[in-house]
Amino acid sequence: MSDELKKGLEGVLVAESGLSYIDGDEGRLVYRGHTIEDLARGASYEEVLYLLWNGELPTESELDAFASDMAAERAVDDDVLGTVRDLAEADEVPMAAVRTAVSELSAFDPDATEDADPTDRKANLAKGKRLTAKLPTLVAAFTRLRDGDEPVEPREDLSHAANFLYMLNGEEPDDVMEEVFDQALVLHADHGLNASTFSAMVTASTLADLHSAITSAIGTLSGSLHGGANQNVMEMLEEVDASGKDPVEWVETALDDGRRVAGFGHRVYNVKDPRAKILSEQSEDLGEAAGDTKWYEMSVAIEEYMREEKGLAPNVDFYSASTYYQMGIPVDIYTPIFAMSRVGGWIAHVLEQYDDNRLIRPRARYVGPEDRTFTPIDER
């Protein structure tokens, strides 16, 4: 066994997966053999979920049944909504509120019984549908309650994307908003063994249940180096706008002051994130539709400077920030929306883990003191 230290497990192969493939040098992302470009522009989020969980894209009848089953699971038990209300009144951080509510969902899941087999695939697919369907309800309810509004009940006749926007704003979105948001969900659905996915797999490897694994993943996603990055990007763009400075001038000053420019660099991609390419188009389209492209233009100016002067390319967070902002989505629920999408990938990876499970148990190199003499407490 090699004793070479790999901080952060960088470059270490720990599993085989048939879910997603990333080529960091070419800027490619593939879900089960389908390019992200094809899926984002041609498939709905529901289709991508079916693909990730079942291995193939659904037929029209399979999709109708799958989407209908999931839509029927959108409502959340009153006791869980009561917890969400309490968390909103306590001004809890959005991701912490979501983490707590998702954990509580297990108490009301008919397949999450004490004697249930955690690896039962049929039961886990049913639980996965419920978790994926209810997460948007939790996020929308928390957002409205903390803003002093009552939750909007979910509708079964809307798509996954449209239903969330309806629950969030109380109004049915137009076709453009629905399409853009659905595309964003597709782009974030899976991304290899990222930190939150690996966290879910570690939890599942102990034969903990699906709700425990997803709760672990949500906690991991909440960190600013992972899911919180898109919120950091938008807060940066707002700061640039408020300063009145040219974006490039602002960035130069920030770098001189030792600050990090959010939304650039990636542990996997050495070129522009393919998801960022698609979201940049959406950011531009939304700006043009609203008659104000300043956020897009600001982002492009910063991207060009960072590429030419620092050799850094934007990641998915850089353009998802302005895309969500122009849809009227509050900045501090960007990461919960990330969780709403990535839950599909988390579930798919947990299913893979259960299918060929081995407890994940890495080693650490001990660098502490050795051969110390023990001194009884009355002599210390």
CB 112 within 8 A of CB 209: yes
Residue 6, pLDDT > 80, answer no
CB 66 within 8 A of CB 185: no
User: Which is more confidently placed, 366 or 49?
Assistant: 49
Query: How many angstroms separate the CA atoms of 200 and 208, rounded?
Result: 10
CATH of domain 28-224+330-355: 1.10.580.10
CB 160 within 8 A of CB 182: yes
Nearest to 93 by CA among 273, 266, 256, 219: 219
Q: Active-site residue numbers?
A: 266, 317
Q: What are the residues whose beta carbons fall under 8 Å from the beta carbon of 298, sequence distance 6 or more? A: 237, 240, 241, 247, 322
Q: Where in the chain is the domain with CATH 1.10.580.10?
A: 28-224+330-355
Mean pLDDT of 138-162: 97
For the segment 293-333, what is each residue's pLDDT rounded down to a tens digit? 999 999 999 999 999 988 888 888 888 888 999 999 999 99
pLDDT at 9: 78
Query: How many angstroms separate the CA atoms of 331 and 122, rounded?
Result: 37
Nearest to 20 by CA among 186, 245, 149, 191: 191
Torsion 172-176-181-186 (CA) sign: positive
Please report, rounded to a whole number, the percentage of residues in the chain having pLDDT higher than 90.
77
CB 189 within 8 A of CB 105: no
User: Which is more confidently placed, 13 or 219?
Assistant: 219
Task: Return the DSSP state at 20.
Answer: E
**Edge-first strand listing for the sheet containing 28-31:** 20-23, 28-31, 34-35
Residue 13, pLDDT > 90, answer no
Bridge partners (DSSP) of residue 21 are: 30
Please report, rounded to a whole number, the percentage of residues in the chain having pLDDT higher than 70.
99
Residue 264, pLDDT > 90, answer no
Query: How many angstroms separate the CA atoms of 271 and 263, rounded?
Result: 13
pLDDT band at 256 (very low <50, low <70, confident <90, very high): very high
Residue 1, pLDDT > 60, answer no
Give residue for tokens 């929308």. 140
Nearest to 183 by CA among 18, 320, 85: 320
pLDDT band at 2 (very low <50, low <70, confident <90, very high): low
Q: The domain at 228-327 falls in which architecture?
A: Orthogonal Bundle (1.10)
pLDDT at 363: 86
Bridge partners (DSSP) of residue 31 are: 20, 34
pTM (2 decimals)?
A: 0.93
Beta carbons within 10 angstroms of residue 113's beta carbon: 11
pLDDT at 140: 98
Element (H, E) at 307: helix 294-310
Distances (CA, A) of 346 to 67, 187, 372: 19, 14, 45
Q: What are the residues whose beta carbons fall under 8 Å from the beta carbon of 103, sequence distance 6 or more? A: 211, 212, 215
Nearest to 126 by CA among 25, 53, 48, 183: 53
Mean pLDDT of 120-139: 97
Give residue for tokens 């709700």. 211
Residue 117, pLDDT > 90, answer yes
User: Which is more confidently placed, 79 or 15?
Assistant: 79
For the segment 279-297, what is each residue's pLDDT rounded down to a tens digit? 999 889 898 888 889 999 9
126-157 CB burial, b ≥16 within 10 A, e <16 = bbbbbbbbbbbbbbbbbbbbbeeeebbebeee
Q: What are the residues whose beta carbons fall under 8 Å from the beta carbon of 249, sequence distance 6 or more? A: none
Residue 358, pLDDT > 60, answer yes
For the segment 200-245, what is each residue's pLDDT rounded down to a tens digit? 999 999 999 999 999 999 999 998 888 878 888 999 999 999 999 9
Chain-centroid distance, C-alpha 25: 23
Q: Where in the chain is the domain with CATH 1.10.230.10?
A: 228-327
